Structure 1
Amino acid sequence: MHGTQTIPVGRVRDGALDLLKWLALLSMVLDHLRYVGLNLDGLYVPGRLAFPWFCLAIAANLHRARNSPVMGQWRYLGWLLLFSVISEVPYRLFIDDADTLNVLPTLALGLLIARGWQQKALFDRGLALIAATIAVVFSTQLMFGFFGVLLPLAMLLVFRRPWYFSVLPGVVCVAANQWQVLLASGSPVALAGLATCLIAPILGLVLLRHAKNASPPPMRRWAYALYPAHFLLLLALRHSLA
């Protein structure tokens, strides 16, 4: 008689991480609502949560997968690159005067750099160096620039550290958000946006650590399609309001 067989069980989903992704998506949509033709400039402030929380989600995924097969991480990168291409046309249709690429190339490069620091293999370090070089050379073409590419790594560095270490990604996030322009503006919205950039990492980390019992709908691979789709939906809304 053979020994008792066990049924393979997939990795348990992290409800807090799914919640973080949904809130990041909501923040992004709120931010982009500013471009539908209504006077919604105040949405700039909650919109500053979106990018750092997506970077934190990358760091969380890397941390969870640090001892798992690397194939899943390559698929993660592949989906980011695929939807970087798919999203560019909807992004430019919606943001008429866009002077950067959509945000996904920034996240893809950030993933490579953070993964290179984590894995330490020569191949991974080489890819991270290439990604960092691309980020330096094409900083002005990347949304959030060079510092935006560094933000997933900054998040990963403090992922399991005490809360006060989140000042590091907070400063990186401020640097990625044209802080000189916002500071020079001096408007309440601009200053509140700067403050939000600074505290966004700690807010996200607190959520991940204390919302373990959350059970939002799982955000799976189909969610990548929400990025280009939301541009098209908001574009339709803008035309309907015109």
Structure 2
Amino acid sequence: MHGTETIPVSRVRDGALDLLKWLALLSMVLDHLRYVGLNLDGLYVPGRLAFPWFCLAIAANLYRVKDAPATFQWRYLGWLLLFSVISEVPYRLFIDDADTLNVLPTLALGMLIARGWQQKTLFDRGLALIALILAAVFSSQLMFGLFGVLLPLAMLWVFRRPWYFSLLPGLVCLAANQWQVLLDNGNVVALSGLATCLIAPLAGLVLLRHARHVSPPAMRRWAYALYPLHFLLLLLVRKIIA
């Protein structure tokens, strides 16, 4: 990672990308364990890795299939949208005071914007513009807001640039995570969360570069179901604990 390209994503099955997805899923579950009724506030810190790593996975997938037929990427978007709807009820059952939609609409809009920047056709640019307008208008209803929607684009933008450009998606990630609230809080967990937001993109890019020969189980379409299911499982855990 010394002045070279940040990521050598290949078009074959990428074990590092699957590993990134599994680690993002683990980080998300750890983050949500804070809501089962135990004193687990420290899990907020590793939980800050989940969203930027899911955004990085989306950007990496777009990069890998940028020359593939458009139907491939539309299927990808379709699965995101389908499980955005399926996941909303389990999400609200588990997060009692949720004031935003679940995270999948944010990722779907972010994918459209990143794809529009990548493909450069009038149709794709038009969809990206519509997604950007929706994200700006409904920012308060989207998890991680407008900056969260822009994070996949920021991730995609740094792929072929030196590693230190990862500071840009780090700042976008920080902006998406209510940095002012964290800074005002000032405790160890909040400040550690701030630092994690900043370094998460670089950590993900390092993983994609240096873990290319690992062979974790491939994350295929069935993995979308893990998002709503983990809410239901943690809800069950909370009821057992209570």
**What TM-score, normalized to structure 1?**
0.95
Letter in 1 for 2:128: A
Per-residue CA shift, 1:110-158, capped at 9, x if unaligned?
0000000000000000000000000000000000000000000000000
Match of 2:64 in 1: 64
Q: Structure 1 vs Structure 2: percent identity of aligned residues?
A: 84
Per-residue CA shift, 1:46-99, capped at 9, x if unaligned?
000000000000010000011111111000000000000000000000000000
Letter in 1 for 2:192: A
Match of 1:133 in 2: 133
Gaps spanning 5+ residues in structure 2: where?
A: 1-10
Query: 2: distance between equivalents of 1:66 and 1:79?
Result: 18
Query: 1: distance between equivalents of 2:12 and 2:139?
Result: 37
Match of 2:21 in 1: 21
**What TM-score, normalized to structure 2?**
0.95
Match of 1:212 in 2: 212
Letter in 2 for 1:223: A
| 1:94-173 equivalences in 2 (<5 Å) | 94-173=94-173
Report the secondary structure of 1:149's partner residue.
helix
Query: 2: distance between equivalents of 1:159 and 1:103?
Result: 23
Max Rg structure:
1
Letter in 2 for 1:132: L
Match of 2:84 in 1: 84
Report the secondary structure of 1:90's partner residue.
helix
Letter in 1 for 2:23: L
Pairing 1:228–2:228 present? yes
Query: 1: distance between equivalents of 2:187 and 2:45?
Result: 12
Match of 1:47 in 2: 47
Q: How many residues align?
A: 232
* CA-based RMSD: 0.5
Q: RCO greater where, 1 or 2, for CA within 8 Å and sep 6 or more?
A: 2
Letter in 2 for 1:57: A
Query: 1: distance between equivalents of 2:66 and 2:219?
Result: 20
Query: 1: distance between equivalents of 2:170 and 2:38?
Result: 30
Query: 1: distance between equivalents of 2:101 and 2:194?
Result: 22
Gaps spanning 5+ residues in structure 1: where?
A: 1-10
Match of 1:7 in 2: none
